[in-house]
Amino acid sequence: MKKLSLILVAAASPAFAAEGPFLSLYNTDFVVLLGFLVFLAVLAYFKVPQKVLGLLDNRAVSIRSDLAEAKALREEAQSLLASYERKQKEVQEQALRIVANAKDEANRAAEQAKADLQHAIARRLQAAEDQIGSAEQAAVAAVRNQAVNVAIAVAGEVIARKLSAADASKLIDDSIRQVEERLH
C-alpha cells in the first residue's frame, strides 16, 4: 500500500502544474492520471505483477538448472579431456617404446649381420686357403712326379748306356727293395 501511495503522489505532482481545476475531465493531466491508475488497478486485479514475478522466478529456476547442467557438462568435458590427454600420453610413451625397441632390434640385427658376414668371410678365406694349399700340394706332387719321370727317363738312358745286364739286374733288385721298405 505504501508503494501505491508513493506512486500516486509521484504521479500526481506534475498534475498540479496544469491550469484550471485539477479534478476536471477537461484537464488532460487528470485524465492521464486516471487512466494510469485504472491501468495499475487492472494489473493488480488480474495479479499481473505476481504472474510476472512467477514467470521471472520460473525463468530464474530454469536458468539455474541450465547453469547446473552446463557446469556438469563442463566437468564431464574436463574429465574427458583429462582422460584423452592421459591416453595420448600413454600412446605417445608406447610409441616411443616401440621406436626404441625397433632401434634396438635393428642394432641387434645389424650386429648379427656383421658377425655372420665375418664368419662367412672367414669360412671363404679358409676355403680359399684350403684350395690354395691343396693346389700347391697338387702342383708340388705334379712337379715331383714329373721330376721323378724325368729322372727315371734320364737314369734309364744313363743306365742303359753304362750298365751291363748284371748291374741292371742288381739295380732293379735294390730299387724293389727300397720301394718295399718305403711302402711298409
Higher pLDDT, 173 or 93: 93
In the chain, % of residues over pLDDT 90: 52
Cell of 70: 552446463
Beta carbons within 10 angstroms of residue 175's beta carbon: 12
Condensed to tens digits (0 to 9), the pLDDT of residues 127-161 reads 989 999 888 888 888 877 777 777 777 777 776 77
As a whole number of angstroms, the distance between CA 40 and CA 3 comes to 12
| Whole-number Cα distances in Å, 109 to 17, 101, 118 | 108, 12, 14
Q: In the structure, what pLDDT confidence band is assigned to residue 26 with cuts at 50, 70 and 90?
A: confident
Higher pLDDT, 173 or 117: 117
Give the domain ranges of the chain.
74-177
Compute φ and ψ for 21, nearest 5 degrees.
-70, 135
The answer, yes or no, to whether residue 57 has pLDDT greater than 90, is yes
Q: How far apart are the first and last CA of the chain?
A: 153
Residue 41 C-alpha from the chain's centroid: 76
Segments in 27-47 forming alpha helices (H): 28-45
